[in-house]
Every structure is written in C-alpha cells, then in structure tokens.
Amino acid sequence: MVQEKIIAMLAEATDTDASEITAETKFSDLGIDSLDMTEMAMDLEDEFDITLEMSPELNTVGKLTEAVEALVAEA
C-alpha cells in the first residue's frame, strides 16, 4: 500500500507512467530534486500520520517504502 502510494505520487509529480516505476527506481533517475522530495515527505507524513526524516540514503522507491512502513508499524 505504501509503495503504491509513493509510486502514484511520483507518477503524478514527474508525469511518468506508474508502470515504469519500480522499487529499484532511483529518485534521481526521475529528475526529482530536493524540494520535490520534501513535498513528497510532507504528503507521506499526512497520509500515514508519521514523522519522516528524509536522508540521502533514502534514494530509491524501495528504500523509502521500507522507511515509511517501519514508521507506520511503530505508530
């Protein structure tokens, strides 16, 4: 569910077909910049009622999904 949400956000923000985005997709490959990442983090915080610390290590869809899922499980 988290991954589908992230992919849907990315597809909309970058005008990319959702089917082309996978867990391995790097944000840099989609032309996402740091402010796009901040916008996505804030939307994810609202969506899942979490506090998300973005970091350079969270550079793929899969890694961000794991981080969000871990926070949702903690909540």
Partner 1 sequence: MSFKIIGTGMYVPSRAVTNDDLAQIVETNDEWITKRVGIKERRISETEFTSDLGAKAAQAALDNCGCKAEDIDLILAASVSGETSSPSMACMIQNKLGATCPAMEVSAACSAFLFLLETAAAYFALRSNYKKILVVGCERMSGVLDWSDRGTCVIFGDGAGAAVLERGEGYLDAVINVKGGDDVIKIPHGIGCSPFFKGEIESPYIHMQGQETFQYAVTSLCDDVNTLLERNGLTMDDIAYIVPHQANKRIVDFARKRLRMPEEKMFCNIEKYGNTSSASVPIALDELAKSGKLNRGDKIILCAFGGGLADAACLIEW
Q: Which residues make up the interface to partner 1 (CB under 8 A)?
A: 33-35, 37-39, 41-42, 54
Closest distance to partner 1 from the beta carbon of 51 (Å): 11
Closest distance to partner 1 from the beta carbon of 39 (Å): 6
> Which residue number, 28 or 38, has a Cβ lying nearer to partner 1?
38
Closest distance to partner 1 from the beta carbon of 1 (Å): 22
Give the number of C-alpha atoms closer than 13 A to the C-alpha of residue 34, restricted to the C-beta side: 5
Tell me how far apart the alpha carbons of residues 12 and 61 are, in angstroms, rounded to a whole number: 14
